[in-house]
Amino acid sequence: PNDARVLYALGFAYLGKDMLAFAEQAFRRVLDLNPAVTSLHALLVQLAVRQGNTEGAAATMRQILALPEGDTPAMRRLAGELELQSGQPLQALEQLLPVLEHWPADRQTLQLLLMAWQRLGREQQARDTLDALLETHPQLHDLWLARLSIETVGSVDAAAVAERWLQAMPAHLPAMETRLRLHDMAGESDAAEAMARRIVAIEPGRASGETRIVEALMARDPAAAVAHVQAIHDRAEDDARSTLRAWLGSVQHEAGQYQDALRTWVGLHVAEASQRLPLPPQAKAPLSWPEMGSIDPATTARPMFVWGAPGSGVERVIAAIAAASPVLRGDRFGPNPPDDAFQSYHTLQDLSTGKLSPERLVQQWREQLPARGLADANLIDWLLWWDNALLWALRPQLPEARLLVVLRDPRDMLLHWLANGAPAPLAVTSIEEAAEWLARSLAQVATLHEQDLYPHALVRIDDIGNDPTVMAEHLGRLFGTRFPPAPTLGPARMPSGEWRQYRQLMAPAFALLTPVAVRLGYPEQ
């Protein structure tokens, strides 16, 4: 009980097991035995905070600051953070302002001060304090960012701060990029392009400058925009060329060079096919389906599966759902996917041979839920692939679930798949191969819908565009509840109906997809 080394180790053992009160007790005993171990002071404060004991944390902090060796900038910053958490922004300022004088470039201190000033409504004090520091420290990036954040985005005052930043650091790329964005917000296109050219003069190929130059060229000379991107691609390192090739295709498309765009996109897919996943297997439709199971009245969980074929824009629906639901799981597309049948390409064969029973398929899925951070089966599960053969298990064993299928016009889906890829990197070696696989996949969706094989909804997003609010309203109507708009749906995509620009170039592929497009309610032409 009186060996500080043993108590020190014991404290960290408790901490590792999240037994915070015992850890705090052990560390306090270490300090009683050896007051010179000042490194434990901050840890004791943090332990008190993690246990919700803000008063205890504040009391410990006062004891620390009363010690000569405890009154350090780091401890004062922690004290300021505690005061903010306790709803005391004025006391936070008193702790943090001396820290800023000592560490004017410290990002955490600046963030805490900005919060305190905002809560107190002391924007002018913030301006005066930061301006005074910038007089003596004009080369500090984070200090300029903090000063800029006080002003309204896109305002004249923000532009004035950006000009001062640029004068102080004329070759600093973030300052130049900030000024570029503010020029664009003010509608000063020529000035924005000029700033973009200054950026790439310092760092050729920098995305912020090059994309703005291409935007300007596209407005007045589309062929020059294509040539500019082609030149960037040709002089780039090999590891950057795939991204640049995708950009080249999109610029060729925007310039109306459709044949060149298609050649670029398909060439990129073919070049990367060996590094991508094979297309998921597809099963033939059976003559009959197992009966739907009955839902146990005691079952309250209502799981939902979400899937969209490549090019459907399913990832945009997922972005919108993620803004509203904590039970969405997209881990099937990450580095640690669940180990269940929905993740395996062997599932269809295993179901057909009896190696995997319907009961075991659903049981496997349920067993993975705790590892996915879920207490029960109330989740929205974004699937890597879908095949109606899964209904051999889902109809009898999981009748309470629902499937959401994200749709666009199948011909737009094929074009978008070629142009933008898919959330799962699937190998494509030709347009015809992709069209045949997509036609079979969507024919299954049409059958599912026509025969009502499983509780489902078709989420058509053809007319959504790139507006998160429109997507939120669309999903809200579908679910019967309000969806907050997502911050973004991802990069802007081509509008619906763009496939018609490629009607001649992709005629055989579109001929494969038109029958299923009509089945799904889209026009033939």
pLDDT score recorded for residue 23:
84
User: Is the pLDDT reported for residue 466 higher than 70?
Assistant: yes
pLDDT score recorded for residue 50:
81
Q: Is residue 390 part of a domain?
A: yes
Report the domain count for the chain.
Answer: 2
Domain that holds residue 373: 304-519
CA 433 distance to own-chain centroid? 30
Average pLDDT, the chain: 93
For residues 196 and 44, the model is more confident at 196
Among residues 118, 150, 182, which one ends one of the domains? 150
Mean pLDDT in residue range 154-180: 97
Tens digits of per-residue pLDDT, 474-523? 999 988 889 999 999 999 899 999 999 999 999 999 999 999 999 999 99
pLDDT score recorded for residue 20:
83
Global pTM reads 0.82
Longest dimension (CA), the chain: 86
3 state SS for 247-275:
HHHHHHHHCCCHHHHHHHHHHHHHHHHHH
User: Is the pLDDT reported for residue 37 higher than 70?
Assistant: no
pLDDT score recorded for residue 52:
76
What's the order of all strands across the beta sheet hosting 456-460? 328-329, 380-382, 304-308, 402-407, 456-460
* Helices within 19-172 (DSSP H only): 20-33, 39-50, 54-65, 73-85, 89-102, 107-120, 123-136, 141-149, 156-168
Q: Is residue 283 part of a domain?
A: no
Tens digits of per-residue pLDDT, 227-242? 999 999 999 988 888 8
Element (H, E) at 9: helix 4-16
For residues 491 and 24, the model is more confident at 491
Q: Is residue 423 part of a domain?
A: yes
The domain that holds 364 is classified in CATH as: 3.40.50
pLDDT score recorded for residue 286:
87
pLDDT score recorded for residue 15:
81
User: Is the pLDDT reported for residue 265 higher than 80?
Assistant: yes
Tens digits of per-residue pLDDT, 10-19? 888 888 888 8
Q: Give residue for tokens 């798949």.
A: 417
Inter-residue contact 179 to 149 (CB < 8 Å): no
Total residues belonging to the chain: 525
284-305 burial code (b ≥16 CB/10 A, e <16): eeeeeeeeeeeeeeeeeeebbb
Among residues 116, 150, 184, which one ends one of the domains? 150
Instruction: Give 18: exposed, middle or buried? Use CB within 10 Å, 0-12, 13-18, 19+.
Output: exposed
CA–CA separation, 261 and 480 (whole Å): 41
| DSSP three-state, residue 291 | coil
| DSSP three-state, residue 181 | helix
Q: Is residue 20 part of a domain?
A: yes
Distances (CA, A) of 85 to 45, 53, 72, 81, 82: 13, 11, 20, 6, 5
Of 433, 456, 427, which is closest to residue 444 (Cα–Cα)?
456
pLDDT score recorded for residue 36:
65
Tens digits of per-residue pLDDT, 358-412? 999 999 999 999 999 999 999 999 999 999 999 999 999 999 999 999 999 999 9
The domain that holds 73 is classified in CATH as: 1.25.40.10
pLDDT score recorded for residue 38:
64
* Helices within 203-329 (DSSP H only): 207-220, 222-235, 241-254, 258-272, 314-322
Among residues 87, 115, 150, which one ends one of the domains? 150
Inter-residue contact 449 to 456 (CB < 8 Å): yes
User: Is the pLDDT reported for residue 292 higher than 90?
Assistant: yes
Mean pLDDT in residue range 83-97: 90
pLDDT score recorded for residue 479:
87
User: Is the pLDDT reported for residue 48 higher than 70?
Assistant: yes
pLDDT score recorded for residue 51:
81
Q: Is residue 45 part of a domain?
A: yes
Cβ-based neighbours of 292, under 8 Å, separated by 6 or more = 395, 396, 399, 454
Q: Is residue 108 part of a domain?
A: yes
**277 DSSP assignment:** B
Q: Is residue 243 part of a domain?
A: no
Lowest mean pLDDT among 61-65, 180-184, 409-413: 61-65
User: Is the pLDDT reported for residue 270 higher than 80?
Assistant: yes
Tens digits of per-residue pLDDT, 411-441? 999 999 999 999 999 999 999 999 999 999 9
pLDDT score recorded for residue 1:
63
Inter-residue contact 214 to 225 (CB < 8 Å): yes
Mean pLDDT in residue range 271-275: 94
Inter-residue contact 455 to 282 (CB < 8 Å): no
CA–CA separation, 42 and 251 (whole Å): 54
Tens digits of per-residue pLDDT, 103-156? 999 999 999 999 999 999 999 999 999 999 999 999 999 999 999 999 999 999
Q: Is residue 432 part of a domain?
A: yes
